Structure 1
């Protein structure tokens, strides 16, 4: 038995350790790895009627992946411009949502971590309570707020800032705001958990030496909070790129999300192999982007797991 397992069972006991290990393995293998492998297998299969599945025509093929790049055979364009445009726009939008959340949440996380008092608990509770409501209901609430006759437009028109209501839905402002709001806690609390352990004496020492607040954050706080920042950015980016409810409810007519294409392939077109191929491409691309950014900023997987 490996030494880390011996230490694990020694700390938790054989019974409890076996239960915990079994649950982790069930979660990892049964609910993550096996479904993804099944999805990967589907992506290489042709779309056949049920009676022909498993027959001589049911062989592995790359056609589902070629469709994303080249579109249907005999199409009017050399490339599948529509789907590729939606794919890259989804990734860029997910990056923008992640950067927006980081800029918004870093000061909040720093304030929560470095300020003491009961009012901080109340502030944290006010952040958490809205997330007791289902994500779909929150998305519909945001649609009401950002609608042409919604609260925000009524306020702006009433203040005289706009003569006519502004279409926040069609301009994707509601969508990006909804995505940023949906995952704000996933950015705040990883950063908060790291900054909370930062010794305030380091900040005071930097201030005594004449460092400005921007320099203190750039040289002291941000390098120390890098694991929390990496963890928060990873979760927000992956979930934003894979979001479905917010784009469906808050997206305008021209803001098609790549997950909506996947949904259409699975449910509207009943083309599970094509939908699986699109899902695999999105998953692999997001993982490669995250790994590339981690390498660029010199962050390893152990930092994210802290």
Structure 2
């Protein structure tokens, strides 16, 4: 066998796991969901194809209101994760000493050592009516009785920001770490204030990392299920709960598939709109040198 043939075989074997993962776990399930969403149930084991499931979604305000609410809350969580994660990422990339960066990164990774379920129950232990925060406030005399901090939008947002902020920090650190400190020095030497240097130099340079982190955080938040359900309770009104209800509770796979397609389509549109507004492209964002 010639060397060129050996090289081609090595490349094929190298990429085979990735191709199988993409085809079996991404593409085929999406095609299956799309197929189910177009199937209309006429009777027992009797189906036809059409857009009736999508028409039912549009005609039911609670469904598309929940989708819009999920999108709005996801954008809010993304913004808060950016505001929270950017100073941390900047400190790790530009201020912290080289030998302490690994320790700081490790501290950011600690929440990922446990599952979403355990993290959500940790917030429940802290925020429930008989939880640690309510008890501590009563001990200090700041409140006269127990207070329930759970089952509201603020709790859901806090829990989601805590869950996804690391996915904002990592791309920001990767981008900011490549910024030459001489750019900052030049900005200050030319008379720029800290805010001016931050706005005119740091933010434009970090924009690919900002967009990449925002895309990851937004998609993870919009597709989250456990955190909104456990921390928001019946008041969560999260679209993934509607999908779960259609698939599991009502056993209406056609409607559940329709909701899944709509969630993917709508979130992809929001991502595309964000790229257009920021002037970024997906290729340059995920493949910045």
- Measure, in 1, the Cα distance between the counterparts of 2:110 and 2:151: 29
| Aligned twin of 2:37 | 43
Residues 1:263 and 1:13: Cα distance change in structure 2 (over 3 Å):
same
- Measure, in 1, the Cα distance between the counterparts of 2:68 and 2:88: 31
- Measure, in 2, the Cα distance between the counterparts of 1:269 and 1:173: 30
The question of 1:92 aligning with 2:72 is answered yes
Shift of 1:206: 1.1
- Mapped contact 2:41–2:48 kept (Cα < 8 A): no
- Measure, in 1, the Cα distance between the counterparts of 2:193 and 2:149: 38
- Mapped contact 2:67–2:238 kept (Cα < 8 A): yes
Q: After TM superposition, list the pairs within 5 Å mapping 1:111-190 onto structure 2.
A: 111-114=91-94, 115-190=96-171
2:181 maps to which of 167, 192, 200:
200
Q: Per-residue displacement from partner, 1:129-150 (whole Å, max 9, x unpaired)? A: 2211111111111111111221
Shift of 1:95: 0.5
Residues 1:213 and 1:158: Cα distance change in structure 2 (over 3 Å):
farther
Secondary structure in 2 aligned to 1:168?
Answer: coil
Shift of 1:125: 1.0
The question of 1:28 aligning with 2:22 is answered yes
Shift of 1:156: 3.1
| Aligned twin of 2:61 | 81
Residues 1:156 and 1:118: Cα distance change in structure 2 (over 3 Å):
farther
- Measure, in 2, the Cα distance between the counterparts of 1:64 and 1:118: 56
Q: Per-residue displacement from partner, 1:41-69 (whole Å, max 9, x unpaired)? A: 100112366x62xxxx4211211111111
Q: After TM superposition, list the pairs within 5 Å mapping 1:254-293 onto structure 2.
A: 254-293=235-274
| Aligned twin of 2:51 | 62
Secondary structure in 2 aligned to 1:180?
Answer: helix
Q: After TM superposition, list the pairs within 5 Å mapping 1:185-264 onto structure 2.
A: 185-264=166-245
- Measure, in 2, the Cα distance between the counterparts of 1:48 and 1:18: 46
- Mapped contact 1:187–1:229 kept (Cα < 8 A): yes
Residues 1:129 and 1:117: Cα distance change in structure 2 (over 3 Å):
same
Residues 1:116 and 1:38: Cα distance change in structure 2 (over 3 Å):
same
Aligned-pair Cα RMSD in Å: 1.9
- Mapped contact 2:40–2:50 kept (Cα < 8 A): yes
Q: Per-residue displacement from partner, 1:170-209 (whole Å, max 9, x unpaired)? A: 3222211111111111100001000001001111121222
Residues 1:43 and 1:149: Cα distance change in structure 2 (over 3 Å):
same
| TM-score, normalising length: structure 1 | 0.87
The question of 1:18 aligning with 2:12 is answered yes
- Measure, in 1, the Cα distance between the counterparts of 2:86 and 2:157: 18
- Mapped contact 1:47–1:271 kept (Cα < 8 A): no
- Measure, in 2, the Cα distance between the counterparts of 1:27 and 1:166: 47
- Measure, in 2, the Cα distance between the counterparts of 1:90 and 1:121: 35
